[in-house]
Structure 1
Amino acid sequence: MDTITILDSHRCHLGEGPCYDPRTGTAWWVDILERHLFETPLQDGTSRRHSLPFMASAVAAVDETRHLLAAEDGLYLRRLGDGELELFCPLEPEDAGTRSNDGRVHPSGALWISTMGRGAEPGRGAIYHVAGTRVTRLYGSFTIPNAICFSPDGATGYFADTDAGLLQRVSLDPRTGLPTGVPSTLYDHRGGEGGLDGAAVDAEGRIWCTRWGASCIDAYSPEGERVRTVPLPVTRPSCPTFAGPDLDRLLITSAYEGMSRDERDADPEHGRTLLVTAGVRGLLEPAFRLAP
């Protein structure tokens, strides 16, 4: 039976980008719109909220003293000890109308990171490959690029445009995380309830994708079959990652962005961050390599 607990009682306006640090047993995630970074040890659940000077959308490990934040104008290194920030690499510096969105580190240590219009304007989103400070644009013309994740062997990448409703897959060079083929549709969600949002891959290669607006997370096989749906106590789940000493829990952020007062009243856990035990084991997210 699936077990769901509230990891943190803070309500995120737009919770996103979770990351788990196995050395300290700590979960990290952000509230994009409120410019907050959350830090919560799973053992005691005592959360700390850090203010940020920018909107950040994703957290990735780097080393024992630093992690990486994807922010509205670039990628920043943040020191764990004192929170000091250093711009590592600009991202779309010529366009103040976009911000970072979904991202994952490939097994090679390269980062895939997406951007989108601040008002989710159609066609303004893109996905980039970042190796060290070398930024390569992979795909464009998205509205809300999401669901970035990778197969355990690094040979397949997955992504979606929430607005388009198509979960895509593409062959990758496992050594670099760069595409070697043309994307194709893995699952067609057009006309389905809710929208494809953030995703993570488990140890068996299944893609676990939150469904924004539909109160659930779905698992898809590498062949494109939706094999499981886990109901969640939040209407707008946003992004998962695997957490815990055995990586057997899904850490899932959520949001209340765009919800009316009546909608929030009908969703008493809106914006909370969840831990879900669903009988599967995941993969530890790789650390971002500072040098290619």
Structure 2
Amino acid sequence: MVELTGYNGRILDQTSLYHGEGPTYDPITDTAWWFSIFDCQLHELNLSTGRKVVHTLPFMASVLARIDDARQLIVSEHGLHVRDVATGALELVTPIEQDKPHMRSNDGRCHPSGALWFGTMTKHGEGRKGAGAIYHVLQGKVTLLYPEISIPNGICFSPDGSTGYFVDTMDNLYKKVTLDPATGLPTGEPTLFSDESGEAGGVDGSVCAADGSIFNARWGVGEIQHYAPDGRKIARYKLPPKQTTCPAFIGKEANRLLVTTARENLSLEEWQADPEAGYTYSLDIGIKGVFDAAYRL
């Protein structure tokens, strides 16, 4: 294991979220977005002005993507919705798993082609093993990529769109797969990227940098772990909360990471020992990132 890098970030938002997830950033407006899944909230923070707004949603949601200046895509427990940025109005455009009320969306990200990958899982622990899946959606067409996924995470893509990454956190075998750069659809079978099954903590959300390396939030150990494109771990960045959930590149230079965290399932004693659990952070890494692609509706 590579040497641990000390904490070199700052608190971006002190709201203690039960389960922060799904951060993304719009460089056009200098605005960061993320979710509190179980609270049915979408958080908006303008980095230039510091203005913070919390939007209440009528469902659990976990993934947001820009469509254009006026619209966003939100992935929820019911499927894909178009959100009007000005009014907050929501329209369900692609229903997915509506016949499974015990399921919700989890990790996801847009491929450079404008396609969306996202995963589903049970809302609670009962019957979680193999209950979820990872989907590909492009212009409303839904393709089931990988069924029998328990906790879908780690979804990200190489900058040229030729490689995709994903993990089932329950088995912690981080995988990669070759993709068609024009569609984001797999062209081969997944292979092992990194075997984390014997390591502490769970592989959670990820984002890919401009050099093809990957930054992964490590649930349970309070770290962002940095992987080379060949799967080697090259750095570990420490954060105060143990339950780090997902990173996203932010800032005009795309050289900082927004990192969401969670206080999910912490007892009062555990929360007192981990007082920043659920906070949102800005982590200085000094490596050029790639902003998330817009969804092609």
Q: Normalized against structure 2, the TM-score is what?
A: 0.96
Matches of 1:118 and 1:277 in 2, distance apart? 33
- Tell me if 1:232 matches 2:239: yes
How many equivalent residue pairs?
Answer: 290
Instruction: Give the counterpart letter for 1:129 in structure 2.
Output: H
**Counterparts in 2 of 1:122-201, with a 5 A limit?**
122-201=129-208
Q: Could you tell me which residue of structure 2 aligns to residue 91 of structure 1?
A: 96
Matches of 2:7 and 2:223 in 1, distance apart? 12
What is the SS of the residue equivalent to 2:205? strand
Q: Could you tell me which residue of structure 1 aligns to residue 112 of structure 2?
A: 107
Q: How far 1:89 moved relative to its partner?
A: 0.5
Matches of 1:236 and 1:132 in 2, distance apart? 34
Matches of 1:163 and 1:139 in 2, distance apart? 15
Matches of 1:252 and 1:140 in 2, distance apart? 28
Matches of 2:274 and 2:81 in 1, distance apart? 34
Q: Could you tell me which residue of structure 1 aligns to residue 60 of structure 2?
A: 55
Instruction: Give the counterpart letter for 2:149 in structure 1.
Output: F
Structure 1: gaps (5+ residues): none
Q: How far 1:94 moved relative to its partner?
A: 2.1
Q: Could you tell me which residue of structure 2 aligns to residue 76 of structure 1?
A: 81
Q: Could you tell me which residue of structure 1 aligns to residue 3 of structure 2?
A: none
Q: How far 1:3 moved relative to its partner?
A: 2.9
Q: Does structure 2 conserve the Cα–Cα contact (< 8 Å) formed by 1:198 and 1:210? A: yes
Matches of 1:184 and 1:154 in 2, distance apart? 17
Q: Does structure 1 conserve the Cα–Cα contact (< 8 Å) formed by 2:161 and 2:181? A: yes
1:125-172 deviations in Å (ceiling 9; x for gaps) = 100000111000000111101000000110000000111011100000
Q: How far 1:2 moved relative to its partner?
A: 6.1
Q: Residue 124 of structure 2 is aligned with which of 119, 124, 129?
A: 119
Matches of 1:49 and 1:96 in 2, distance apart? 25
1:156-210 deviations in Å (ceiling 9; x for gaps) = 0000011101110000000100000100111011121110000000111011110
> Percent identity, aligned pairs only?
47
Structure 2: gaps (5+ residues): 1-5
